[in-house]
Structure 1
Amino acid sequence: MIPRGRPVLNETDVARRAGVSLATWRRRHAAAFRKHVPDLLPDSRSLLYDLAQTDAYLKGRPIPELPDGEHPDDLLTADDVAQILGINTSTVRAYATQGHLSPGTTRYGTRLWTRREVHDRRDNAPGQGKGGGRRAGEPQGPRKQHAYEGDPRLDTAREALTAAGGTPKSRIATALAAQHGGTPRTWERLLTTAAATHHTGDDDPV
């Protein structure tokens, strides 16, 4: 998470502010720096650091604390979003691709969403709201026709099938997993379901 309104730096920027090359920084300075200045996105491949904390360290001053608590303008990673929404990270990316969640903003190649948006998505998910629940004693609604009914990744799978022509399904699944997250096996299942439903106009298998 990046706290609200906090400028961040990657390791290249930190080395530049220290007046050394990135290679020299990593070899001579990075280990000590990381003991004092925390990586803001420990679950991400990106190493991002708070600008104020970085400058304080480089100038030999006390490291300022980050803001306490949660704020609507905090920026959250896909892992953070997944925990709040109760879904997996690959589904977060699929939601962003299909418009069920905004594309978010990007910091040094890492996609981020505001806490405000994520909480709004959680509290106002499709199907929720007045009269959205089933009262005790009422019969349960129709059962899903298949495991992926309503999954936005089905649209991605259908588009991939249309564009791929005769490409083997396993290769399409591997490419989709690399692009959107998840496993190739999951995408193979989605592709199979998409192939069975694409010409009906809905998610009812034929």
Structure 2
Amino acid sequence: MIPRSRPVINESDIARQAGIPLATWRRRDAPAFRQRVASLFPSSRILIYDLAQAHAHLNGLPIPALPVGEHPDDLLNDEESATLLGVAASTVRAYATQGYLSAGTTVYSVRVWTRRDVEERRNNPPGQGKGGGRPPGKGKGPRKAHSYEGDPRLQTAAAALSTAEQASRHHLAAALAHQHGGSTRTWERLLAQASQVSGPAPAVRRSASD
């Protein structure tokens, strides 16, 4: 987590500021640096540090403490957002692609979202109130032709059907679930609905479980 959207820096820029190659910095200086300055995303392979803490270490000064507690401007990566939403990290990325969550921003190749946006999605999940479907108190309106009408995943399922080559529907659904989040069974239903809307897709053979 990047607390309160504070400025950050990665190891490549630290080495550049020190005027030495990154490989040299990592071999010679990184061990001592990492002991004093913790990465803001410990589980990520991309190491990002608080800029003020990094500069303090490089200048031989005491390391300032990071702000404590939660704040709406905290920046969360996909894993932290997933924990807050109670879903998989892949589902967070799918939400951002499908418009169920803001697109977020990229910080040193790490996609992040504000805690404010993630909590708004958590408190207003798709299909429930603000930002997630019909607001409370509104009429039902026109009846849907099917349960997935208007679902952006339906277009993804239709595209997958049109490009699949000799893949069983179950295996195709499993691949879509892995890539976009959600369950394999849900994607099987989406594929079935997509085939009804767009017509049969002869390139896809059905498995015995369909």
Task: Rate the CA distance shift 1:105–1:193 in 2: closer, same or farther, 3 A.
Answer: same
AA at the equivalent of 1:166: E
Shift of 1:154: 5.2
Partner of 1:5: 5
AA at the equivalent of 2:124: N
Q: Distance in 2 between matches of 1:68 and 1:157?
A: 43
- Give CA-to-partner distance per residue, 1:17-66, whole Å, 9 cap, x none: 22211010111111111000010011222100111111110010011111
- The answer to whether structure 1 residue 43 and structure 2 residue 43 are counterparts is yes
Partner of 1:193: 189
Task: Rate the CA distance shift 1:167–1:12 in 2: closer, same or farther, 3 A.
Answer: farther
AA at the equivalent of 2:44: S
AA at the equivalent of 1:194: L
Q: Distance in 2 between matches of 1:153 and 1:25?
A: 46
SS, match of residue 4 in structure 1:
helix
SS, match of residue 64 in structure 1:
coil
Q: Percent identity?
A: 55
- The answer to whether structure 1 residue 81 and structure 2 residue 77 are counterparts is no
Partner of 1:160: 160
TM-score, normalised via structure 2 length: 0.73
Structure 1 residues without counterparts, runs of 5 or longer: 133-144
- Give CA-to-partner distance per residue, 1:65-102, whole Å, 9 cap, x none: 11111110110111111111111111111111111111
Q: Distance in 2 between matches of 1:152 and 1:87?
A: 19
- The answer to whether structure 1 residue 18 and structure 2 residue 49 are counterparts is no
- The answer to whether structure 1 residue 65 and structure 2 residue 65 are counterparts is yes
SS, match of residue 91 in structure 2:
helix
Retained in 2: the 8 A contact 1:158–1:191? no
Q: Distance in 1 between matches of 2:48 and 2:186?
A: 35
- The answer to whether structure 1 residue 107 and structure 2 residue 110 are counterparts is no
Structure 2 residues without counterparts, runs of 5 or longer: 130-134, 138-146, 198-209
